[in-house]
Amino acid sequence: MISAELPPGGVGAFLVWGDPALYDGTLRLLREGPADPPLEIVSVPGISSVQALAAAHGLILNRVGEPVLVTTGRRLAERGMPADVPDVVVMLDGRTAFADLPDTDLDIYWGAYLGTPRQILVAGDLREVTAEIVARRSAARAEAGWIMDVYLLRRR
Ligand SMILES: C[S@@+](CC[C@H](N)C(=O)[O-])C[C@H]1O[C@@H](n2cnc3c(N)ncnc32)[C@H](O)[C@@H]1O
C-alpha cells in the first residue's frame, strides 16, 4: 500500500491500538518496510491500556522510589511474581495467569475494555476476587466475542 498508494512526498497513517510504544509492532514493521521512497516515521503518542487502567482505578502505578515491571501473562505464568518488584502490570494474558499464583500478599487491579462503553473494573485481594474476575471475564468474552484486559498486581 505504501508503494502503491503514497505519492512522492505524501503522508500516510496507521491507527494503532493504545500507544505504539507498548507491545505493538507497527513501528518495527514500518522500519522494515520499503526503503524506496524513504519513509520519515513520526510516532504520535496515544493512551496505552496501562495508563487507562491506572486512571480508571485512580492509581499511581509505582510506590515512592520503587520500580514497575510491565510484562506478559505468559512470562508471569512461567516465572511468577518477581520477588524484587512490588508492582507488576500484566498485558496479553489470555490464560488468566494471575489465578494460579501461589502468593497470598497480592492485590489486583483489573480492567477490561478500558476506555470503551463495555469497561469492567474489579479490584481487591487477589485471593478474594480471582473467581469473580475469571467468571466476569469469561461471560464478557462470550457476550462480546472478544476481550482485552490488563491488570496491576501489587504486593502489600
Ligand atoms: C498487542 S497489545 C497492545 C497494547 C497497546 N499498544 C497499548 O498501548 O495498550 C494488546 C494488549 O493490550 C491490552 N489492552 C489493549 N487495549 C486494552 C483495553 N482497551 N482494555 C484493556 N486492555 C487492553 C491487553 O492486555 C491486550 O492483551
Distance CA 34, CA 30 (A): 8
Q: Which domains does the chain have, with CATH numbers?
A: 1-46 (no CATH), 49-155 (3.30.950.10)
pLDDT, position 39: 86
Ligand 1 neighbours by CB, cut-off 6 Å: 17-19, 22-24, 48-49, 91-92, 111-115, 148-150
Mutate to test the pocket of ligand 1, among 22, 48, 91 (most ligand atoms within 8 A of CB): 91
* Burial of 25 per CB tally in 10 Å (0-12, 13-18, 19+): exposed
Amino acid at 14: F
pLDDT, position 142: 98
pTM of the predicted structure, to 2 decimals: 0.94
pLDDT, position 33: 75
Q: Which of 72, 116, 71, 123 lies closest to 95 in space, CA to CA? A: 72
Average pLDDT over the chain, rounded to whole? 95
pLDDT, position 143: 98
Amino acid at 45: P
Residue nearest to atom 27 of ligand 1 (CA): 92
| pLDDT band per the 50, 70, 90 thresholds, residue 19 | very high
Non-local CB neighbours of 71 within 8 Å, separated by 6+ positions: 88, 89, 90, 91
pLDDT, position 4: 85
pLDDT in tens, 80-105: 999 999 999 999 999 999 999 999 99
User: 19 CA to middle of ligand 1, Å?
Assistant: 9
* Burial of 5 per CB tally in 10 Å (0-12, 13-18, 19+): exposed
User: 8 CA to middle of ligand 1, Å?
Assistant: 34
Residue nearest to atom 25 of ligand 1 (CA): 91
What's the whole-number mean pLDDT along residues 3-27? 91
Extract the C-alpha cell encoding 44.
Answer: 504520535
Q: What percent of the chain has pLDDT over 70?
A: 100
